[in-house]
């Protein structure tokens, strides 16, 4: 005859399960967060590399963007530097896993330094040729779904650290990812990014190759 669990034994088992859950669930959550951060970094590196490939073919200039429909993120697909096969998937190459959800194919959670891409009015894109490439911002976790970052964005507390979790730039446990013209990637604390953005001594090399 099988022995039945007593109430005390059942309570002990439930308590043990509760203890194990309290240990395992945070570990699983941390692993998930780490995977999301890694995915974002890899996508930002991929976007940076695709732009570098275009620049190598075009005298060290990246795709010019206008205020209209022509944008670097769309042109990378249209010109064959990235495959269109990923456009309609959850793994869209320009969608940060922690960012705002896309509604259209040619959207991006990553922004490019406006001095390198924006061609409007008197603004002429700058060449990637640089004597301080490790100090010049190339791409960054952008605010909302903007494809260009302006110097003012990196001084805006709301855009960098205060807006909703999916819109703000520092959306990875308070950090944001940046690639530079030399290709290296850094993860910066949002307040550190604000400090850099507000430091006039950094303004020239940070934004201009």
Question: With 90 as the cut, is the pLDDT of residue 35 above it?
Answer: no
The verdict on residue 65 lying in a domain is yes
Least confident residue range of 44-48, 97-101, 114-118, 197-201:
197-201
The verdict on residue 7 lying in a domain is no
Higher pLDDT, 184 or 20: 184
d(CA 87, CA 54): 19
For residues 116, 117, 118, 119, the Cα torsion angle rounded to the nearest 10 degrees is 100
**What is the extent of the structural domain holding 62?**
38-207
> 63-92: per-residue pLDDT in tens?
888 756 678 988 899 889 988 877 776 688
Verdict on whether the full-model pTM lies above 0.75: yes
The verdict on residue 17 lying in a domain is no
The verdict on residue 126 lying in a domain is yes
The verdict on residue 96 lying in a domain is yes
Cβ–Cβ under 8 Å, residues 14 and 145: no
The verdict on residue 113 lying in a domain is yes
Longest dimension (CA), the chain: 90
Name the pLDDT band for 54 (thresholds 50, 70, 90).
Answer: very high
The verdict on residue 77 lying in a domain is yes
The verdict on residue 24 lying in a domain is no
* DSSP-derived pairing of the beta strands 110-113 and 175-180: unpaired
Number of domains the chain contains: 1
């Amino acid at each position: 005859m099988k022995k039945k669990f007593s109430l005390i034994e059942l309570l002990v088992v439930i308590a043990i399960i509760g203890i194990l859950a309290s240990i395992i669930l945070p570990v699983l959550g941390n692993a998930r967060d780490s995977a999301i951060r890694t995915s974002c970094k890899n996508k930002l590196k991929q976007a940076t590399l695709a732009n570098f490939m275009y620049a190598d073919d075009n005298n060290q200039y990246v795709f010019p963007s206008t205020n209209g429909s022509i944008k670097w993120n769309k042109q990378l697909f249209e010109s064959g530097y990235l495959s269109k096969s990923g456009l309609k998937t959850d793994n869209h190459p320009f969608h940060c896993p922690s960012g705002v959800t896309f509604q259209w194919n040619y959207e991006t959670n990553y922004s490019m330094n406006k001095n390198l891409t924006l061609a409007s009015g008197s603004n002429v894109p700058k060449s990637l040729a640089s004597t301080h490439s490790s100090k010049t911002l190339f791409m960054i976790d952008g605010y909302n779904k903007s494809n260009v970052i302006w110097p003012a964005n990196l001084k805006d507390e709301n855009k960098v650290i205060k807006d909703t979790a999916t819109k703000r730039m520092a959306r990875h446990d308070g950090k944001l990812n940046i690639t530079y013209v030399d290709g290296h990637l850094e993860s910066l604390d949002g307040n550190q990014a604000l400090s850099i953005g507000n430091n006039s001594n950094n303004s020239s090399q940070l934004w201009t190759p």
